[in-house]
Amino acid sequence: MSSRLTEFKRELGAIEDERIRGFTEWVLEEVAGDWFWEVPASKSDEFHPAWALGEGGLVRHTKAVVYLAREMCRARSIDEVLKIDQVTSAAVIHDVVKWGQHGPRRSSRCEWEHEHHDYLLRQIVGRELRTMGVRDRLLIENRKLEKVLEIAETHMGRWSRCPRPIHTKLQWVLHLADFVASRTEIRGICFDAPMFNTPF
């Protein structure tokens, strides 16, 4: 396991479906830029809590979103393993292109990518898949994984520049998990909490 994947070892280990876990690992290694592991969750320091700011803040935010999404699945009596795996994967990858693939830089293109990152994820994943060989593409492209992208691309809800309707429980789960994890009033999160020890 690469050092990048080690950062999400617990979250990835909670995904039981091998294909969904493999897809999630691939997105973290091949789609997420180097910047993803270093930047704060918010460029302006006003839309995320203090613990999600500073170096590595986006990773901490992402881990909190995964935890909250899985807990919300429990609260909504979503106990089908496939659905929990899909929402967990979507939570892990929801912000990996928050600054496009090349990270924060001063340009109008970067601002556009930041404002449309929910929409951009599917495009960038699709582009990366097209550059792979047919055999690899067949291993990754399937309905289970399409559902992961559908969940991830609605995570911003009405705050998206191109809002798409939220139709499913799983889309609502991720949207609300991201919303709660972004509240500045949340003083802290214990990342050593036994997030995956509770049976569904």
Contact of 66 with 88, CB cutoff 8 Å: yes
The pLDDT score that the predictor gives to residue 192 is 55
Q: Higher pLDDT residue, 1 or 15?
A: 15
* Average pLDDT rounded to a whole number, residues 8-37: 91
189 part of a folded domain = no
Judged against a pLDDT cut of 80, whether residue 108 lies above it is answered with no
191 part of a folded domain = no
164 part of a folded domain = yes
Number of domains in the chain: 1
* Average pLDDT rounded to a whole number, residues 138-157: 79
| C-alpha span between 46 and 182 (Å, rounded) | 10
Range(s) of the domain holding residue 103: 3-181
Nearest Cα neighbor of 173 from 194, 200, 139, 141 is 200
Please compute, for residue 86, the number of CA atoms within 13 A of its CA located in the half-sphere on the CB side: 24
Please compute, for residue 2, the number of CA atoms within 13 A of its CA located in the half-sphere on the CB side: 7
Judged against a pLDDT cut of 90, whether residue 4 lies above it is answered with no
Residue 34 token pair: 């180097």
17 part of a folded domain = yes
* Average pLDDT rounded to a whole number, residues 127-145: 66
Share of the chain above pLDDT 90, in %: 32
* Average pLDDT rounded to a whole number, residues 41-51: 63
200 part of a folded domain = no
194 part of a folded domain = no
Look up tokens 């830089």; give the residue. Answer: 105
A 10 A CB-CB count for 91 gives: 29
26 part of a folded domain = yes
Contact of 167 with 151, CB cutoff 8 Å: no
What pTM does this model have? 0.83
| C-alpha span between 154 and 81 (Å, rounded) | 21
141 part of a folded domain = yes
Element (H, E) at 68: helix 57-75
Residue 26 token pair: 């691939």
Judged against a pLDDT cut of 90, whether residue 133 lies above it is answered with no
| C-alpha span between 86 and 93 (Å, rounded) | 11
